[in-house]
Amino acid sequence: MRGVVRVLDERKLDVLRAIVEDYVATHEPVGSKTLVDRHNLGVSPATVRNDMAALEEEGYITQPHTSAGRIPTDAGYRLFVDKLSTVKTLSPAEKKAISSFLVGAVDLDDVVRRTVRLLAQITRQVAIVQYPTLSRSSVRHVEVVTMTPRRLLLVLITSTGRVEQRIVETHDDVDEQLIADLRSRLNTALTGQRLTDAATSLESVTETFAPPNRPLVAAIVTSLLEAFTVEGEQRIAVGGAANLTRYGDDFERNVKPVLEALEEHVILLKLLGEATNPQTLTVRIGHENPYEGLATTSVVATGYGSKSEALATLGIVGPTHMDYPSTMGAVRAVARYVSQILADS
């Protein structure tokens, strides 16, 4: 067990880096000879073999079977991401493509849709974008519309441009005058409030109404409260599932669980994790993921929103053998551009 604490020297790290890069490019186990041929390591295959034996001992690479080349382990990728690579910055052309893709969005939905598409396209992975969190935004406007005499539609517009709707069924026909009254009182009480604080303000609104009207008002208030909290957090957009075809074979084991996970937005939220600011990239590799179906999968995510606090998270899901430097660069760049668009000019 002495070997475990041994410090890996510079060249061994070079070898690991070469292995990761090669494997990512070819998706085939890489042997000592090929490695020396393709990267100019300045040493002989035999030497590389020794280094590889050491790296395997440390758990950074592994052999699919005896007498095959090596492939990186999760730990190998982790070391690569943390120490051996630098996030690639995009070319000016790519940057331009991003911004031209995002301008012209007509509303928040459109921004999110375009972002998903863009992210999927440039990373060639599955893209996931969370809608701006409600809890950090404030009330811009509340609208109450009568659909039928016994059916109301509540519309909540937040400072982030997100629009939430709720249908409320009532037992008795509602009075238009009362609705108008309610609408104005709600807006007076709520406009500008943070959603998290709005709950208390809502209660006091109820009390300003005459007792006979209380049940109706209470129903509406309850519905609004719902809109303020749980449900809203969960909205997510997914795109680029067709990129899963590039996973290679072993469809059943690799692709199926991913497709299943993509249907479960709760799982996706866990995958994306806590929102961070756009400077910080979260990378989860293989088994580090909180969902076992994605053991052959990595997630690259980051927050977006204003500089001071992140509104929500976006990222991609792809095979562990992805091109981390490029992918991370793309995710970060997209997050920054979206933040800009949302902050407006």
Partner DNA sequence: GACTGGCACTCGAAACTCGGGAGTGCCAGC
Partner DNA sequence: GCTGGCACTCCCGAGTTTCGAGTGCCAGTC
Q: Which residues bind a copy of itself (CB under 8 A)?
A: 105-109, 140-141, 143, 145, 147-148, 151, 153, 155, 157, 159, 161, 163, 165-167, 223, 226, 231, 239-242, 244-245, 249, 251-252, 255-256, 259-260, 262-263, 344
96 binds, among a copy of itself, DNA, none (CB under 5 to 8 A by kind): none
Q: Based on CB atoms, which residue is closest to DNA, 22 or 323? A: 22
Min dist. Cβ of residue 1 to DNA (A): 18
Q: Based on CB atoms, which residue is closest to a copy of itself, 68 or 167? A: 167
Question: What totals of helices (H) and strands (E) does the chain contain, helices first?
Answer: 13, 10
Among 274, 341, 344, which Cα is nearest to 310's? 274
140 binds, among DNA, a copy of itself, none (CB under 5 to 8 A by kind): a copy of itself
Min dist. Cβ of residue 183 to a copy of itself (A): 11
Q: What angle do CA 200, 206, 208 make, to 5 degrees?
A: 110
Min dist. Cβ of residue 105 to DNA (A): 47
Q: Based on CB atoms, which residue is closest to a copy of itself, 54 or 178? A: 178
143 binds, among DNA, a copy of itself, none (CB under 5 to 8 A by kind): a copy of itself
Whether residue 178 contacts residue 124, with contact meaning beta carbons closer than 8 Å, is answered with no
Min dist. Cβ of residue 73 to DNA (A): 14
Whether residue 305 contacts residue 311, with contact meaning beta carbons closer than 8 Å, is answered with yes
54 binds, among a copy of itself, DNA, none (CB under 5 to 8 A by kind): none
The residue assigned the tokens 């910080």 is 280
Does residue 284 sit in helix, strand or coil?
Answer: strand
Q: What's the token pair of residue 154?
A: 């509540």
Q: Based on CB atoms, which residue is closest to DNA, 36 or 268? A: 36
Give the list of residues 6+ apart from residue 172 with CB closer than 8 angstroms, or none. Answer: 150, 216
Q: 3-class secondary structure for 115-136? A: HHHHHHHHHCCEEEEECCCCCC
155 binds, among a copy of itself, DNA, none (CB under 5 to 8 A by kind): a copy of itself
63 binds, among a copy of itself, DNA, none (CB under 5 to 8 A by kind): DNA
Distance CA 318, CA 285 (A): 10
Q: Based on CB atoms, which residue is closest to a copy of itself, 91 or 245? A: 245
Distance CA 335, CA 328 (A): 11
Q: Quick count: other Cβ atoms within 10 Å of Cβ 272? A: 23
Q: Based on CB atoms, which residue is closest to a copy of itself, 197 or 260? A: 260
The count of C-alpha atoms lying within 13 angstroms of the C-alpha of 291, restricted to the half-sphere facing its C-beta, is 22
Q: Based on CB atoms, which residue is closest to a copy of itself, 172 or 274? A: 172
Min dist. Cβ of residue 17 to DNA (A): 16
Which residue type sits at 301? A
Min dist. Cβ of residue 246 to DNA (A): 19
**Sites of contact with DNA (CB under 7 A):** 11, 29-34, 42-47, 49-50, 52-53, 56, 63, 65-70
CA–CA distance from 70 to each of 4, 17, 52, 53 (Å)? 19, 12, 8, 10
344 binds, among a copy of itself, DNA, none (CB under 5 to 8 A by kind): a copy of itself
Q: What's the token pair of residue 258?
A: 């991913």
Min dist. Cβ of residue 53 to DNA (A): 5
Q: What is the DSSP letter of 278?
A: T
Distance CA 304, CA 132 (A): 9
Q: 177-190: b or e for each residue (b if 16 or more CB lie within 10 Å)?
A: ebbebbbebbbebb
Min dist. Cβ of residue 216 to a copy of itself (A): 17
Q: Based on CB atoms, which residue is closest to DNA, 30 or 312? A: 30
